[in-house]
Amino acid sequence: MITVSRSRREAIRRKAARIRERCLNTGQNTQATARAIADELPEVSLLEAWRLALGWSRADTVARVGELYRSRGLMPPGMMQAMLCRWEHGRVKWLSNEYAEALCAVYGASAAQLGLDRWRFGPAEALGRYSAVALEACDALVREGGTMTTAAGLPAVRESLTLALLVDPAGSHTVVEVAQAAIEFYSFGYSKHPPTVLFDEVHQTRGLLTQALASGHTAEAVAVDMRNSIGWLSALLGNLAHHVEDHTGARVHLATAVSLG
């Protein structure tokens, strides 16, 4: 895995924004703009290039997918920014047809234009994809072969968040991405771990985010996402509390989840 500094990631975003502005000024459509971004920034995949060509953040994409589902009379899916991050950088073994269709719909593109047609045959090797702490955490969550054990897997996820907070003690977008990846890991592995053990890990993870927010130095845009993550973690704690028959605690945690989430 090639690791690129946060400053390089920011440089990539700025360059993509300049390419988009240039293409808009010359009347280029989204497809041409995405192709220009992908051609001039080899680190950027087609899927990410389309998002950047539209001028969207990952949060914007997730929100629009939710709006698409609601427009169809459906509840929004459990899509998170960390999932989109991994798809953009080829760090997963598969992408469901349902999510692929949703991305095509919100981006107004075909699967081939987004580079998603490759998922029918398995992902192509990810060459030159940039990463940072968040992607390192993604790799920790999606192991190539083998099974993540309770003893090794749970502490490793929390430690990834701890490392991200060492870099940004008050929180950052990277911290949020790692937290969302952790939530996804806890959710997908919910039935694989003893409830009391998982409860303790989720509780400690929530405590890390709470401590960061308590510093009072978190940027408001980041704080909103961190509070949302704390809400999801609280919901997990509420469910786990039910499993150990702590129904009073479950009500408290679920009420907190509703308040924050």
Per-residue pLDDT band at 149 (split at 50, 70, 90) = low
pLDDT digits (tens, 9 = 90+) for 232-241: 999 999 999 9
Last residue of some domain: 121, 146, 172? 121
pLDDT at residue 2 in the model: 46
Question: Both tokens of residue 142?
Answer: 């999606």
Does the pLDDT of residue 126 top 60, yes or no?
no
**Confidence band for 39, pLDDT divided at 50, 70 and 90:** very high
Residue 137 lies in a domain: yes
Confidence at residue 217, expressed as pLDDT on a 0 to 100 scale: 92
- Both 145 and 224 in one domain: the answer is yes
Domain final residue pick, 89, 121, 153: 121
Please give the tally of structural domains in the chain: 2
Helix (H), strand (E), coil (C) string for the chain: CCCCCHHHHHHHHHHHHHHHHHHHHCCCCHHHHHHHHHHHCCCCCHHHHHHHHHCCCHHHHHHHHHHHHHHCCCCCCCCCHHHHHHHHCCCCCCCCHHHHHHHHHHHCCCHHHHCCHHHHHCCCCCCCCCCCHHHHHHHHHCCCCCCCCHHHHHHHHHHHHHHHHHHCCCCCHHHHHHHHHHHHHHHHCHHHCCHHHHHHHHHHHHHHHHHHHHCCCCCHHHHHHHHHHHHHHHHHHHHHHHHCCCHHHHHHHHHHHHHHC
Q: How many CB atoms lie within 10 A of CB 48?
A: 26
The parent domain of residue 224 ranges over 133-260
Q: Is residue 126 part of a domain?
A: no
Boundary of a domain, candidates 68, 101, 121: 121
Q: Mean pLDDT, to the nearest integer, of 17-29?
A: 94
